[in-house]
Structure formats: C-alpha cells, structure tokens
Amino acid sequence: MIHRNNITIDGGSAEYWRNRKQGFRLIREAELAAERLETAPMYIAGRWDDDYGDYEPIENLGPWERMDDAIRAIAADETALSILVAQRRPKIGDWEIGAVIRALEQQTEAAG
C-alpha cells in the first residue's frame, strides 16, 4: 500500500514562501559545502613538533563534517526534500540523500 500525503499549497501564504526560501537556502548551503570539498586540503598544519622541526599534519575533517551537517539539515526539512524530489536530485555532490532516494523509488513503484 502506498501512503500519499496531499499537501495544500497556498502560494499567497507568508509561511509557504518562508518555508520555500528556507528549503532553497539549505540546498544552496549543501551545494557550497560540496564545492568547498573539491578544493579543501586533506591535511592542515597542527602543532609544532620539535623532534621533526615541522608542524604535525592533522586531517582536515571540517569540510566533510560541514557537508554531513548540510545533508542532515536537508533530510530534516520537508520543504527541502520536496524540492529535491521534484527536481529528481538524489545527490548533492557525491553525497546521496536517502530520503530523496526513497521518495523517488516510491514514485517509480507507484507509476510502474
């Protein structure tokens, strides 16, 4: 059995446009995080190591954590998910969005 949510759209509602703006903002933040990953260094300089006479390399996990956070924020926002489902975009960068994939699979099953 397929469960469908019928959503009433009130294009004149301030709440509708606020939710849309928030959804697109979350998607854009994830796109920017994905772009930053392309140029982010794998390692950054840590503290000075007197034994080696150089800085200790530290894994640069910040950009990956920001991308994970951005994807989690999208997954938690119903409007952002609906936008991505409507655009048939299951991924941003190399990150898959499970909720979008599941929704697209349900649409395919319902149509097929």
Read off the DSSP letter of residue 52.
Answer: T
What is the pLDDT at residue 98?
A: 93
**pLDDT of res. 100:** 94
Q: Per-residue confidence of the chain (112 residues) as pLDDT tens digits?
A: 344 565 666 777 889 999 999 999 999 999 999 999 999 988 887 777 777 777 788 888 999 999 999 999 999 999 999 999 999 999 999 999 999 999 999 988 888 7
Handedness of CA 47, 52, 53, 54 (dihedral sign): negative
The pTM assigned to this predicted structure is: 0.80
Could you state, in order of their start, the residue ranges of all structural domains in the chain? 61-112
pLDDT at 1: 38
SS (HEC) of 12-24: CCHHHHHHHHHHH
